[in-house]
Every structure is written in structure tokens, then in C-alpha cells.
Amino acid sequence: MTQEELFKNLISHTKEYGFIFPSSEIYDGLSAVYDYGQMGSELKNNIKRYWWDSMVKLNQNIVGIDSCIFMHPKIWKASGHVDAFNDPLIDNKDSKKRYRADVLLEDYIAKIEAKIDKEVAKGRKKFADNFDEAQFRATNPNVLREQKKVDEVREKMAKALNDNDLAALKQLIVDCEIVDPISGTRNWTDVRQFNLMFSTQLGNISDETGTLYLRPETAQGIFVNFLNVQKSGRMKIPFGIAQIGKAFRNEIVARQFIFRMREFEQMEMQFFVRPGEELEWFSHWKQKRLAWHLAMGLGEGRYRYHDHEKLAHYANAATDIEYNFPFGFKELEGIHSRTDFDLSRHQEFSGRKIQYFDPEQNISYVPYVVETSIGVDRTVLAVLSSAYCLEKLENGEERAVMKFHPALAPVKIAVLPLVKKEELISSAQKILDELKLDFNCQYEEKDTIGKRYRRQDAIGTPYCVTVDFETISDNKVTLRHRDTMEQERVSIAELHAIVEAKVSMKRLLEKI
């Protein structure tokens, strides 16, 4: 099965089993907006809890807040979002569809790269064991010609984007002879800048001063509360403020399921440090954040750092943690050393002094900031795509199983009476009543036990407990393990401890 087919299957699996639904589906959906169902919201909450605990519980110098989505409009002037939070946009006059100019070019490059990969695959087949890929790429004339095209387009695009030269960007699209995938024509408008913030209006003000923005990131809520938290919490630098919350971006190209949405959630932590110490903290957080990802067990080879060569004017180091999604390596988290840019800008725009008095150095300064910023939904997608397996069983059947880390699994344990008989039901209910105080459980008595196991596999429940007639006399149940499908007889009294040992959030937190 190709990655594309697997991804399609995953999307329908997540819908069928209550993880993710297209928003407003009975009205044909709303593009790039998704709702989390009964399983998806449990999974998402577990991921958020894992992140929150890793920040706030494990670090005595990090505290969490919950600031509002609406903020004073001047904040977005100060942060630079009103003037510079733009994407270059281009319309096709025939299809009336809108595209991101840089994405059209990226797609063009991806097509050429696919051609190169095909050429390499041909070479591998032809030369078999003697194939040396590096040498082939460096000498094959077809590969060299295509690679030259890629390099040229990349370079021109980077220059045009950097110089904010929209005419050059349009010219590049024309020169590459890019056609609209829908109309098939090259009838393009000029490239324009498009601000990604959604705006709305305060009820009691009728003019422009009442314009409010839905926040495009949660970080600004942290910066503007810096003094409040530092003073009320008597925080000493270095310290961090963490927050989880919704963010909104009017993305032009929204695709790849929950990877790029118009309403999404972020988990951000701003770490305030002494000027001059930021690069040390930057590498600290770079390493810590990767460890956080690796602990979930999605696979070491699936992550890579992408250090930014071109930095925003206020940053002095930046890296992305990229994850190998079913559609390739893409940004999952950003780690940025943002100097004193944000706090200084708020100091300037608000007219308030935003500084920290350092008792050890006996001076006041605007702290520097290292931020870690990760999308909840992209993490959910990473977890879902790594967990999803289709397995052929010995009896020829296939099972779909979500191999979540037990601490992240939406349901921890399913309690199942073998058959629908009163004494089994009441024994199972008793077990459920005890376990449900600590764990998210499901109780099911309908269908054969095999079918019930399959349903639990499909939602990733690590344990199933089956109550049978022997249970009544020996106080033991059959415990089935999701991944191995092994079954063992355990006493009811041991159940809680066995489950706890595997599903506790501790199993993740102790690894980082």
C-alpha cells in the first residue's frame, strides 16, 4: 500500500471510530476545520496533559496560564502581525481559485524531485548491487539537468520571498509555466500579500478602533502577562510561562487533513533568560523538546531538526523539529531564540516599563526569550499516523489496530462479560465500578468477544478484561494485551496495579 493510500485509510478510520470529523459535515463541511470526536478528544487531552505536566510539573521554574483569545488590537501592531503576518497569494482568473504563490512553486519543485527519484530508481534496478546512489546523482545527465532546475527555482524563490518582491514571484510562476491544477490555464493575477489574521468587531464601537483579531498564536498572551506572572509568582530568571490554547489563521492553502487548519491549538512556552545566556538555553530546549517527542515512541528515525539559515530579524537562532508525516517531513514544532524583541516592542507600544530587576547582577533589563511552540493537532496527526497499523492475522483476517502509547490511548481498559448472562454482567460491572475511578474504561456486552476485541483494537485500547464463568469461582479474569494479542489469567485484585503500571503518565514523563 502506498503512503497516500495509507493516509486515506487513516482519515476514514479516524472518522469511523470517532477520532476526527469534518466540521459541519451535514452542511457539506467547512474547509480546513475539523471536530474531535469522542476518541479524538480523549487522545488530544492526553497529549495536552503530557505536554503540560512535562513543562509545569517537571520544572519548578515554569508556570502555566490561560489567557484570552481576544486581546487589545495594539498587541498585534506591536508583535508585527498587522503589518507582516502575510502570505503571498495568487488567483487563477479562470478557476477563481486562490493559491499561495510559494506553495505553487514548492509543488512544482516536488514534481521535478519526483522525476529525479524515478530516474534514481531506474538506475538502482539497472545496476543492482553495484549501484552507488551518490555517484549516480552526481553524474547522470538527466538527474543533473533536473537538479539544476530545482536549485535555480529554489534560489530565485528564496530571493523573491526575502526581498518581498511580489513581481519576481509572479514572473517565476510564469517562467516555470505553472498551470492551475483545476482550470489547467496560466491565466494568473498578480501576486498580493494576504494577512492571515481573522478580524471581528467589538459590539459597542462602530469604527476601525473596534477591530479585534482572533489570536494567530498564543505567545502574545504570555508576553503581555510577563509582569503579572513574574510579580505575583515571585519568579526569578530564568523562568518560563506555558500556555495551551486555540489560535486562528486564515490559511490560503489548507490541506493535509489536520496538519494545516484555520482553527487549531498550540502549546507554547516562553522561557525568559538573562541577555547573553539565550543560546545556551536554546540548545537546552532543543534537546529537551526532542526527548519529549521521542518518549512517545513514534520512532526515532521519524524526527529531524531543520535549523533555519535565514533568520527573522529579531531572532538569533531557530530550528524546527520536523516529523515524517505520511506526506513527508514537515514542521511539527518550532524552537526560537527571539532576543528581547517581543517584550521591548510591548514596552514601546504600551508605554509601560517591562523589565526585570536581577538581584544577583543588581541591574534591570528586558529579558531575552527562548520559545518552544508546538501544534496540538499536528502532534495528534503524528501520533495517529504512527499508531495506525493494518495487520494480517494467522486466520487470514485483517485487524486495524491503533498502537498508541498506553498513556496516550483514549480508553485504557475495556471490561467485557464473555456472554450476556446476569452473573457475568454483575461481576463485570463491579470490576468496572472500581476501575473507572482511575481510568477511562469502556464496557461492552454486545457481539462476539472477537468482534469486541477488534473494536477495542481499532480505538487503541491497551487492555481488555474478559469476565467468564470461572471468574465467579476463582476471582480471576482474562487480560488481553492489544499489541501481542496475548491473553493471561490474572486475579481481579491485581488488575488495577497492572493497568496503572502501563498507562500512567509517569511512563512518559520519566523518560524526559
Applying CB under 6 A, the residues found at the interface with ligand ATP are 217, 249, 251, 260-261, 264, 266, 331-334, 373-375, 377-378
Which of 334/367 has CB closer to ligand ATP? 334
Q: Are 217 and 67 in contact (CB under 8 A)?
A: no
Smallest distance from the beta carbon of 265 to ligand ATP, in angstroms? 8
Whether the CA torsion 72, 77, 81, 86 is positive or negative: it is positive
Q: Quick one: angle between helices 376-387 and 3-16, nearest 10?
A: 110
Q: Are 331 and 319 in contact (CB under 8 A)?
A: no
Whether the CA torsion 70, 76, 79, 82 is positive or negative: it is positive
Smallest distance from the beta carbon of 334 to ligand ATP, in angstroms? 4
Contacts of residue 212, Cβ cutoff 8 Å, sequence gap at least 6: 70, 73, 199, 200, 201, 202
Smallest distance from the beta carbon of 44 to ligand ATP, in angstroms? 13
Smallest distance from the beta carbon of 508 to ligand ATP, in angstroms? 19
Strands (E), 167-310: 192-195, 199-201, 211-213, 239-248, 263-273, 303-307
Smallest distance from the beta carbon of 331 to ligand ATP, in angstroms? 5
Q: How far apart are CA 493 and CA 237, in angstroms?
A: 48
Q: How far apart are CA 14 and CA 374, in angstroms?
A: 22
Which of 281/453 has CB closer to ligand ATP? 281
- Cell numbers describing residue 18: 470517532
Smallest distance from the beta carbon of 244 to ligand ATP, in angstroms? 12
Which of 256/440 has CB closer to ligand ATP? 256
Which of 245/334 has CB closer to ligand ATP? 334
Which of 119/217 has CB closer to ligand ATP? 217
Q: Quick one: angle between helices 38-52 and 376-387, nearest 10?
A: 110
Smallest distance from the beta carbon of 79 to ligand ATP, in angstroms? 12
Smallest distance from the beta carbon of 510 to ligand ATP, in angstroms? 25
Which of 378/482 has CB closer to ligand ATP? 378
Which of 320/468 has CB closer to ligand ATP? 320
CA gyration radius, the chain: 27
**Residue 79 main-chain phi, psi, to 5 deg:** -75, -15
Which of 245/406 has CB closer to ligand ATP? 245
Q: What angle do CA 390, 330, 335 make, to 5 degrees?
A: 125
Which of 374/499 has CB closer to ligand ATP? 374
- Bridge partners of 337, per DSSP, are 317, 370
- Cell numbers describing residue 93: 482568473
Smallest distance from the beta carbon of 251 to ligand ATP, in angstroms? 5
Smallest distance from the beta carbon of 198 to ligand ATP, in angstroms? 12
Output helix, strand, coil percentages for the chain, rounded to the nearest 5: 45, 25, 30
Smallest distance from the beta carbon of 221 to ligand ATP, in angstroms? 14
Q: How far apart are CA 321 and CA 307, in angstroms?
A: 9
Question: What is Dmax (Cα atoms) for the chain?
Answer: 81
**Residue 88 main-chain phi, psi, to 5 deg:** -80, 125
Closest residue by Cα to residue 12 from 348, 487, 458, 461? 458
Which of 254/485 has CB closer to ligand ATP? 254
Which of 270/373 has CB closer to ligand ATP? 373
Report the residue number whose CB is nearest to ligand ATP. 375
